[in-house]
């Protein structure tokens, strides 16, 4: 892990970027927003989706040409999974977050291109979400 990639340092980076709108222009609708601490828990290929312009390159994004246009739903699905596990949220919000996570993962899988470099991650997330769902309710 590079010295600038610890979860705490990433959370600080995302907090700073969020404070400066010129740096942080999320490409996602508000429905899919994530806190800096939630973003810091995501794989690095999700970062560009949440902190547009601050991080670049293949390591920090999921190119449409590699995996398909529906991949922009995968990282928000991971955020929903994180939110579903947050015990401080009311039960109905956690159940709703898990439902959104499963829906977004299934949407991603439906339109994912064969040979997508993160296909294993997507299918693993689906298994985790389905295994977690009964315990969130």
20-34, pLDDT tens digit by residue? 444 444 455 566 788
Asked if residue 106 lies in contact with residue 117, where contact means CB atoms within 8 angstroms, the answer is no
**Confidence at 50, pLDDT banded by 50, 70, 90:** confident
- What are the phi and psi torsion angles at 117 (to 5°)? -65, -15
> Lowest-pLDDT range, 2-6, 33-37, 52-56, 101-105?
2-6
Tokens 């389905």 correspond to what residue?
130
Q: Name the residue with higher pLDDT: 35 or 77.
A: 77
Asked if residue 50 lies in contact with residue 76, where contact means CB atoms within 8 angstroms, the answer is no
115-128, pLDDT tens digit by residue? 999 999 999 999 99
SS3 1: coil
> Lowest-pLDDT range, 30-39, 48-57, 61-70, 82-91?
48-57
């Amino acid at each position: 892990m590079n010295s600038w990639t610890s979860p705490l340092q990433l959370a600080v980076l995302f907090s700073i970027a969020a404070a400066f709108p010129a740096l942080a222009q999320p490409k996602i609708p508000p429905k899919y927003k994530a806190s800096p601490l939630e973003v810091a828990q995501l794989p690095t290929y999700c970062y560009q989706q949440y902190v547009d312009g601050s991080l670049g390159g293949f390591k920090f994004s999921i190119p449409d040409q590699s995996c398909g246009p529906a991949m922009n739903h995968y990282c928000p699905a991971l955020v929903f999974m994180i939110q579903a596990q947050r015990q401080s949220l009311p039960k109905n919000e956690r159940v709703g977050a898990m439902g959104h996570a499963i829906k977004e993962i299934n949407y991603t899988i439906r339109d994912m291109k064969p040979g997508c470099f993160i296909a294993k991650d997507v299918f693993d997330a689906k298994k985790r979400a389905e295994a977690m769902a009964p315990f969130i309710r």
